[in-house]
Chain A
Amino acid sequence: MLITRSVHITHQRITCDNQTVFETSDVNIFTEFIKAGFKSLNATYPKFYKMDSLSKLAFVASEFLLRDQDIAQRYAPESIGLVFQNAASSIDIDKDHQLTIQDRANYFPSPALFVYTLPNIMMGEICIRNKFFGENALFITEKFDAELLYNHITVMLAKHKMDACIAGWTNVEQEQYESFLLLIEPETMVSNSKEFRTFDAANILKLYTI
């Protein structure tokens, strides 16, 4: 298996295979930054604006990861899996929802907000966008755990639960945000396979820490 693309978003910068693809020093708050990052893709997808911060971050990372990849054409939609990790679950939107119920004089819980209090919704958004029907797993870990990610995906691939995988880490808590996503594909499906790194825990960590 190979890592055919990696995307890293943090500190107002988006890199794709270690090349900066979007960067801004104009906006210094996350919500504005991620909106600008999305706009740089020139994509028309109004649903993006309804998402919470966590889903927006994961979504923009996945758009850069899958750009020009036609992966939905190359693999059966039910064989493309998502394996994600995150530390803070959906903490920001959890706090927002808590505010809508805590003051009884101002009690107004909203379904549009409540639905995002489940962190796996970010994977749902990516599946809806790309029509992926495969495996969904979200692990809550204190920090990014390359070993756990690698071991789990390896077993799932060996059992033929999936053929290709979008995997990584996406975490937001106020102004601390980071998404690191990988596209993992079999050698046989990649024409220029020598150009890519082998999928293993050491290479995942290398790409993460560059």
Chain B
Amino acid sequence: MHNVFVVGQNAITSLGFTLAEHIDKIKNNISGVKRIDDKVLFPESFYASLIDNVLLHQHFASIGNPDSYTKFEQLLILSAHLALKDSTVNAASHKTIFIISTTKGNINLLDTRQSNSFSADRVYLWKAAQQIARFFGNNNTPIVISNACISGVVAINFANDLLNSGAYDNAVVIGGDIATEFVVSGFQSFKSMSFGICKPFDAHRDGLNLGEGAGTILLSTQAADCDAKQSIKVLGGASSNDANHISGPSRTGDGLYFAVTKAMKQASITAQDVDFISAHGTATPFNDDMEAKAFHRAGLCDVPINSLKGYFGHTLGGAGIIESVISIQGMKENLLFNTMGYEEFGVEEPVTIVDHLTEKEQNYILKTASGFGGCNAAVIFAK
């Protein structure tokens, strides 16, 4: 079985276009979540993390024609480009596969009030993925994973399985979603959005912030080029279903517990080995309780846990990748990042929430995600 290494990363959110900008702002407790008064997105004001469209357009114009690609495609292409340019991965090689994680892709093209020049089939995720892979001259059929909010973690696990088997040498795993009236109105109809910056695991948490963004993680079995000391491996992961409710998390945390324990088994490690957990932590009342119960049951109560949602919101199909990328950087720098928005402990089991920037050596970290449809996923990264 081939080992799979992380050989490149990028994140794009309201915090910036590079991973370095994200780390700098997170270290300084700067959130990109703001009050949004944009009647196109929603009739009333709400809190979300949005990317500056002018900046995105400018950045993209330096690598491609902005008129030929939708905002969603531009975002994912730019993220992959920025990750690839500092790596030795040949994006056009037949040994490189593109894996795209998204919930809604180009869903804004359904809006018939706005005319656009894109062909109608761009609304299909497989078509949008082709645009992205072809931009880099890659002729393999790109693979799209669309598993709600766990898509990013499922995509990393799928890429790891694929590379383990030797089918490809490299995977360009890109995840993202844009903020649209479609999604904002849906989450508002669920009354699940916070009235301020979200407060994961806090006693006064009142809901989530939506975020738009993209993340890229380059995986490769060809690790000769990486600095051995800095190389991070994907050890293994798993997914599960709560078998409970399509739009609410399990009250018991059974599903997430299964995903986490199976991921540890895949990675051949135990709960004692886990140095840090990057949780999903959306800051909805039920979700955070469910996660605390699952981590408690898995014997992970004493392991530091954070949620990054307070910095750039819930980036949906991007979340699993963006949050992995940032947590991997924390692992490299031996830092645990603060849980923005968290003040007072407020979940049903005594888990350990990271409440300030902390130095800690980390050899094994766990990333989890949970989503609509009762799905959960977990992945373990190792130094």
Contact = CB atoms under 8 A, between A and B. Distances in A.
Interface residues of B, number: 58
30 contacts: A78-B240, A78-B258, A89-B124, A89-B146, A91-B123, A98-B111, A102-B112, A107-B185, A110-B189, A111-B186, A111-B190, A111-B247, A114-B185, A115-B190, A117-B104, A120-B146, A120-B375, A123-B241, A133-B243, A133-B255, A134-B240, A135-B240, A136-B154, A136-B373, A136-B375, A137-B158, A139-B146, A140-B144, A142-B124, A151-B165
Contact of A139 (B145, B148, B240, B241): B145
Tell me if B's interface is mostly helix, strand, loop or mixed.
Answer: mixed
B316 to A, nearest CB: 10
Contact of A152 (B43, B110, B161, B236): B161
Nearest to A122: B373
Best-buried of B112, B182, B373 by chain A (most CB within 10 Å):
B373
Interface string B140-158: 0101111110100010001
Contact of B373 (A95, A118, A152): A118
What range describes how many residues of A lie at the interface? 35 or more
A138 interface: yes
A102 B262 contact: no
A155 B161 contact: yes
Please give me the 3 A-B residue pairs with the lowest Cβ-Cβ distance, nearest first. Answer: A124-B373, A114-B186, A140-B144
Given A123-B241, A124-B241, A133-B242, A109 B126 contact: no
A109 B246 contact: no
A133 B147 CA distance: 15
A64 interface: no
Best-buried of A110, A140, A141 by chain B (most CB within 10 Å):
A140
Contact of A118 (B103, B124, B189, B240): B103
B238 interface: yes
Given A91-B123, A138-B145, A97 B241 contact: no
A185 to B, nearest CB: 19
A125 interface: yes
A109 B375 contact: no
Contact of B266 (A88, A94, A161): A161
A98 B182 contact: yes
B4 to A, nearest CB: 12
